[in-house]
C-alpha cells in the first residue's frame, strides 16, 4: 500500500486483519514510527486497535522503503493524495512519483492498482511511467479499485461496502483482485479501468448534488415557512430517492467532495463538456457558508467586536480532519466582519489551530463551556453528539446573550427554545 493516509492506512490495516501481509509505505519517518508503535497517526474510531493487533501479528509492516515493500507483494495499491491544483485539476504528482518508484522495484508480475481518486485516463499514464522505468522487461497489469469509505466510519464502510468496483484489463488481474476482496460484502462491479475511475468521481459528485439540492430546498423552506427536516424525510422515504445525504446544513467539506467536484468539472471542461449542473452544485455550497454568516448577522446585528462561540471545527463529526471544513471557512468570514472567535472541537482543535495559524482573532478553548464564556452567540458548525448533550441551562448563564445559530440542525428547536434561547437553524421555521 503506497500511501498511509486515511484511505491507505485504513485499507492496509483491514487487509492485514483479513489475513494478508501488508506493507504500508509512507516517506515520512515520524508517521511510520507512530504506526510501528501500534498507533494511528490520525483519529479514526476503531483503527488504532486494528493497527496494534496486526503490527503485533507481523501482518502489517510499516516502512519508508519501496524496496522493502514492493518486491514481496502480489498487488501494489497506489493510495497517495491527489489534492487540487489552483485551477481545480487533480494534482497527480504523488501518483506519478509512486509509479516511478514502484517500477524501479518491480521484480516479477504484479497487479498495480490505483486506489487514489484519479481522473479518467490516469491508469494509462501510470502504466506508461512504469513501462519507462522498469529495470528489465517484467510483465504487470494495471487496475483501478476506487475506495468509497467515509471518515469517521471508515472501518465498517470498508468491511461492508455497498459495492466493490474493480476496473481491470486482464482476466489475471480481475481474478487476483476478486480473490483479495472475497471477504468483503457488497456487489462486485467488474468493468474496464476508465469506467472504474469515473464511477468514483460520479458517485462523490452525485452525493454532493444531493446535499446542495436539499440546501436549496432549505432556503425555500425559510421563505415559505416549511420544515426542511420533514421535507427530507418525506422525500427520502421514497426508495428511489433514499434518506441519506439529505441533511441540510452549512454544506459539504472534507478531503473528497470539494476536490473531486472541482476535478470532475475540470475533466468535463477538458473534454468539451461544461457540466453546468455540477458548477451549480459547487456554487450552492459556497453560498451556503455566506448565508450562515448572514443568518448570524440577522440574529445579533453587526459582527464588529462581537464574540462568537464556534462549536465544531472538523468538516463533520467523528473525525479530526479539518480539510475544507465549512467551519473554518465560516470562521474566516466572521473574522473579516470584525468578530472574535472562541472555538472548541472535541477532536479537531489541534488540526484547526494549525490550519488557522496565520489567522488572528481565534481563541481555541479546551471545552465547550469555556468557548461559550461571555459570547454574544453560539454557532454550531459540526454535528458532534457532545454538543447536543451540553448542559444548555449552564451555557445560557455564561453567555452574554442566549442566542444559538445551529448550522447542522443538531438541536431540537422546541426544547432549546423552552430553555430560554433564541434559536435559529437551517430551513426550519
Q: Report the residue number, 248 or 303, with the smaller CB distance to ligand UDX.
A: 248
Quote the CA–CA distance of 271 and 267 in Å, as a whole number: 6
- Name the β-bridge partners of 177: none
Q: Report the residue number, 21 or 84, with the smaller CB distance to ligand UDX.
A: 84
Per-residue contact flags (x/-) with ligand UDX for residues 337 to 376, judged by CB under 6 A: ----------------------------------------
Q: What is the distance, to the nearest Å, from the Cα of residue 352 to the centroid of all Cα atoms in its chain?
A: 15
Q: Report the residue number, 126 or 211, with the smaller CB distance to ligand UDX.
A: 211
Helix (H) or strand (E) holding 75: strand 75-78
DSSP 8-state class, residue 2: B
Range in contact with ligand UDX (rule: CB under 6 A) among 89-97, 246-254, 303-311, 369-377 = 246-254
Q: Is 421 in the site for ligand UDX (CB under 6 A)?
A: no
Considering only residues 29 through 88, tell me which ones interact with ligand UDX, judged by CB under 6 A: none
- Quick one: which of 142, 207, 371, 416 contacts ligand UDX (CB under 6 A)? 207
Q: Is 165 in the site for ligand UDX (CB under 6 A)?
A: no
Question: How many helices, marked H, and strands, marked E, lie in the chain?
Answer: 18, 13
121 touches 92 (CB < 8 A): no
Quote the CA–CA distance of 86 and 92 in Å, as a whole number: 13
Q: What is the distance, to the nearest Å, from the Cα of residue 278 to the centroid of all Cα atoms in its chain?
A: 18
Catalytic residue among 221, 256, 265, 365: 256
CA dihedral 4, 6, 9, 14 (to 10 degrees): -160
Q: Is 323 in the site for ligand UDX (CB under 6 A)?
A: no
214 touches 247 (CB < 8 A): yes
The cell numbers describing 32, all together, are 511510520
What's the closest the beta carbon of residue 45 comes to ligand UDX, in angstroms? 12
Q: Is 312 in the site for ligand UDX (CB under 6 A)?
A: no
Q: Is 149 in the site for ligand UDX (CB under 6 A)?
A: yes
Q: Is 256 a catalytic residue?
A: yes
Q: Is 143 in the site for ligand UDX (CB under 6 A)?
A: no
Range in contact with ligand UDX (rule: CB under 6 A) among 33-41, 135-143, 239-247, 328-336 = 239-247
Range in contact with ligand UDX (rule: CB under 6 A) among 147-155, 297-305, 338-346, 388-396 = 147-155
Quote the CA–CA distance of 105 and 237 in Å, as a whole number: 52
Nearest residue to 205 via CA among 118, 115, 277: 277
Q: Is 247 in the site for ligand UDX (CB under 6 A)?
A: yes
Classify residue 418 by burial, with Cβ atoms within 10 Å: 0-12, 13-18, 19+. exposed
Q: Report the residue number, 36 or 150, with the smaller CB distance to ligand UDX.
A: 150
Active-site residue list: 256
Residues forming contacts to ligand UDX in the complex (CB under 6 A) are 147-151, 204, 207, 211, 245-247, 249, 252-254, 256-257, 315-316
Amino acid at each position: 500500500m503506497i500511501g498511509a493516509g486515511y484511505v491507505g492506512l485504513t485499507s492496509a490495516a483491514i487487509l492485514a486483519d483479513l489475513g494478508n501481509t501488508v506493507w504500508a509505505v509512507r516517506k515520512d519517518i515520524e508517521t511510520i514510527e507512530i504506526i510501528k508503535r501500534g498507533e494511528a497517526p490520525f483519529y479514526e474510531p476503531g483503527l488504532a486497535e486494528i493497527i496494534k493487533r496486526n503490527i503485533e501479528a507481523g501482518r502489517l509492516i510499516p516502512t519508508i522503503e519501496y524496496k522493502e515493500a514492493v518486491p514481496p507483494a502480489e498487488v501494489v495499491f497506489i493510495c497517495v493524495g491527489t489534492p487540487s491544483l489552483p485551477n481545480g485539476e487533480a494534482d497527480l504528482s504523488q501518483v506519478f512519483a509512486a509509479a516511478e518508484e514502484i517500477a524501479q522495484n518491480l521484480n516479477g508480475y504484479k497487479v498495480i492498482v490505483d486506489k487514489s481518486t484519479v481522473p479518467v485516463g490516469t491508469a494509462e499514464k501510470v502504466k506508461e511511467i512504469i513501462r519507462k522505468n522498469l529495470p528489465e522487461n517484467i510483465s504487470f497489469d494495471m487496475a483501478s479499485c476506487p475506495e468509497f469509505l467515509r471518515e469517521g466510519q471508515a472501518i465498517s464502510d470498508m468491511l461492508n461496502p455497498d459495492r466493490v468496483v474493480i476496473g481491470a484489463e486482464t482476466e489475471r488481474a480481475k481474478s487476483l483482485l476478486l480473490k483479495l476482496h472475497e471477504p468483503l460484502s457488497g456487489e462486485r462491479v467488474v468493468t474496464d479501468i476508465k469506467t472504474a475511475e469515473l464511477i468514483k468521481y460520479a458517485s462523490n459528485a452525485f452525493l454532493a448534488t444531493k446535499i446542495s439540492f436539499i440546501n436549496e430546498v432549505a432556503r425555500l423552506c425559510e421563505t415559505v415557512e416549511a420544515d426542511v427536516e420533514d421535507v427530507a424525510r418525506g422525500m427520502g422515504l421514497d426508495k428511489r430517492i433514499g434518506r441519506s445525504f439529505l441533511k441540510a446544513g452549512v454544506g459539504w467539506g472534507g478531503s473528497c467532495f470539494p476536490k473531486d467536484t472541482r476535478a470532475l468539472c475540470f475533466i468535463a471542461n477538458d473534454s468539451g463538456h461544461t457540466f453546468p449542473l455540477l458548477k451549480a452544485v459547487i456554487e450552492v455550497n459556497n453560498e451556503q457558508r455566506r448565508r450562515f454568516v448572514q443568518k448570524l448577522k440577522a440574529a445579533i446585528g453587526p459582527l464588529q467586536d462581537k464574540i462568537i462561540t464556534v462549536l465544531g471545527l472538523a468538516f463533520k463529526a467523528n473525525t479530526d480532519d479539518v480539510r475544507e471544513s465549512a467551519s473554518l471557512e465560516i470562521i474566516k468570514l466572521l473574522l473579516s466582519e470584525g468578530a472574535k472567535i472562541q472555538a472548541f472541537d472535541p477532536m479537531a482543535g489541534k488540526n484547526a489551530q494549525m490550519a488557522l495559524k496565520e489567522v488572528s482573532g481565534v481563541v481555541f478553548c479546551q471545552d465547550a463551556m469555556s468557548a461559550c464564556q461571555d459570547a454574544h452567540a453560539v454557532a454550531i458548525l459540526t454535528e458532534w453528539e457532545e454538543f447536543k448533550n451540553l448542559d444548555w441551562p449552564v451555557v445560557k448563564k455564561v453567555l452574554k446573550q442566549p442566542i444559538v445559530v445551529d448550522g447542522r440542525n443538531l438541536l431540537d428547536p422546541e426544547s432549546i427554545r423552552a430553555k430560554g434561547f433564541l434559536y435559529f437553524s437551517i430551513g426550519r421555521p
